[in-house]
Amino acid sequence: MEYAIEVNQLTKQYASFKLDNISFSVPKGSIMGFVGENGAGKTTTIKSILNLIHKDGGDVKLFGLDYAKDERKIKEQIGVVFDESYFHDFLTIKDITKIMGRIYSNWSNETFESYTSRFKLPKDKFMKEYSRGMKMKLTIAVALSHQAKILILDEATSGLDPIIRDEILDIFLEFIQDEEHTIFLSSHITSDLEKVADYITFIHEGKIIFSESKDDLIYRYGVVHCRKEEYEKLDKKHIVGVRKSQFGYEVMVNNRKEIEKHHRELVVDNTTIEEIILFIVRGECEN
Ligand SMILES: Nc1ncnc2c1ncn2[C@@H]1O[C@H](COP(=O)(O)OP(=O)(O)OP(=O)(O)O)[C@@H](O)[C@H]1O
């Protein structure tokens, strides 16, 4: 398999936080969703991938290239969208077209024009008159208009309404259609990731908990509703989290086939990425 991004044993130490020896890879032509709570280390990881901060250990490769040797080549091929717009208040779309044409050697006025029209962005208004949603669409239009091979987005769709988010997610799906383009997308909104992501990487307190194909996760994980006595007979190595209530036990398992094989009396329900994450973070675990 060819990888667009490879993160290998990356470590970054801040005074009260450590990105702890993390490794994962993003296959070329796919959408990778990057999830984790506030402060889990998503932005720190993204800044390391973009070579915007100094790493304390490990390495990052994009298209197999190293920043130390090929920084310019790498940066030309990345489109970046952070959760805040970086355009000056007194610029219009026309000004931005000119500026970007000077910055990127592969800038395409036609592509930019087609996205700004599609997003119905007003051409003569100043940025200060743009809403947050309009600014975000504009930033995405810029990122898509210089023939980037990878789009890296940090919480870019958070704070946007569901209709705009849906429109943007459709564009992401179009972007990767030709299998040459890749998207790495951090988000709190797991339902968005469930809709578009091929792979999910989950980061928790600076560590990668899993980085897997979304379909495999949904296929392997499941929730068992059972009584205490039934719970006690389950093989703990398959349990990733438990919720106890007055009605019984809800148990998130990571190998539903094994559970179904050994406990024919139990029903294992389907689950969602959001539930898996909630169980891992908030459920009790007795392993
Ligand atoms: N420059 C810095 N100096 C010191 N600590 C930092 C710095 N940047 C980030 N941190 C700390 O690193 C931790 C991870 O931050 P990061 O921004 O990577 O999290 P995140 O997962 O992106 O969170 P959020 O979803 O809230 O944006 C936090 O505890 C943060 O306070």
Cβ contacts of 169 within 8 Å, gap of 6 or more: 157, 192, 195, 196
- Give me ligand 1 centre to Cα 126, in Å: 32
Domains in the chain, CATH or no CATH each: 3-213 (3.40.50.300), 221-282 (no CATH)
What span, in angstroms and rounded, lies between the C-alpha atoms of 150 and 183?
6
Nearest CA to ligand 1 atom 25: 38
* Model pTM score: 0.90
Express the helix, strand and coil content of the chain in percent, nearest 5 each.
Answer: 40, 30, 35
Nearest CA to ligand 1 atom 12: 17
Instruction: Give helix then strand counts, H and E, for the chain.
Output: 11, 14
Give the bridge partners for 242, in sequence order.
251, 284
In one-letter notation, the amino acid at residue 75 is K
- Residue 285 confidence (pLDDT): 58
Cβ contacts of 197 within 8 Å, gap of 6 or more: 31, 32, 33, 185, 214
Q: Look at 18-22, 39-43, 56-60, 163-167 and tell me which has the smallest mean pLDDT.
A: 163-167
| 244 pLDDT higher than 80 | yes
What span, in angstroms and rounded, lies between the C-alpha atoms of 87 and 135?
9
- Residue 286 confidence (pLDDT): 53
Give the bridge partners for 249, in sequence order.
226, 244
Both tokens of 141, joined, read 């239009």
CA of 44, closest atom in ligand 1: 18
| 159 pLDDT higher than 80 | no
CA of 41, closest atom in ligand 1: 18
73: number of Cβ within 10 Å: 12
- Residue 158 confidence (pLDDT): 77
Distance of CA 143 to the CA centre of its chain: 16
Cβ-contact 280, 202 below 8 angstroms? yes
What span, in angstroms and rounded, lies between the C-alpha atoms of 26 and 5?
5
What span, in angstroms and rounded, lies between the C-alpha atoms of 77 and 62?
9
Both tokens of 207, joined, read 């560590």
74: number of Cβ within 10 Å: 20
- Residue 76 confidence (pLDDT): 85
- Residue 259 confidence (pLDDT): 95
Best mutation site among 11, 17, 45, 55 for ligand 1, i.e. most ligand atoms within 8 A of its Cβ?
17
- Give me ligand 1 centre to Cα 43, in Å: 7
- DSSP structure string for 158-173: TTS-HHHHHHHHHHHH
Both tokens of 60, joined, read 């990052």
Q: What is the mean pLDDT of the chain?
A: 92
Cβ contacts of 68 within 8 Å, gap of 6 or more: none
User: Residue ranges of the alpha helices (H) in the chain?
Assistant: 42-49, 67-76, 93-103, 109-118, 132-143, 162-175, 190-196, 214-220, 228-233, 256-262, 273-282
What is the average per-residue pLDDT within 132-141? 89
Cβ-contact 244, 280 below 8 angstroms? no
- Give me ligand 1 centre to Cα 44, in Å: 6
| 15 pLDDT higher than 60 | yes
Q: What is the CA radius of gyration of the chain?
A: 21
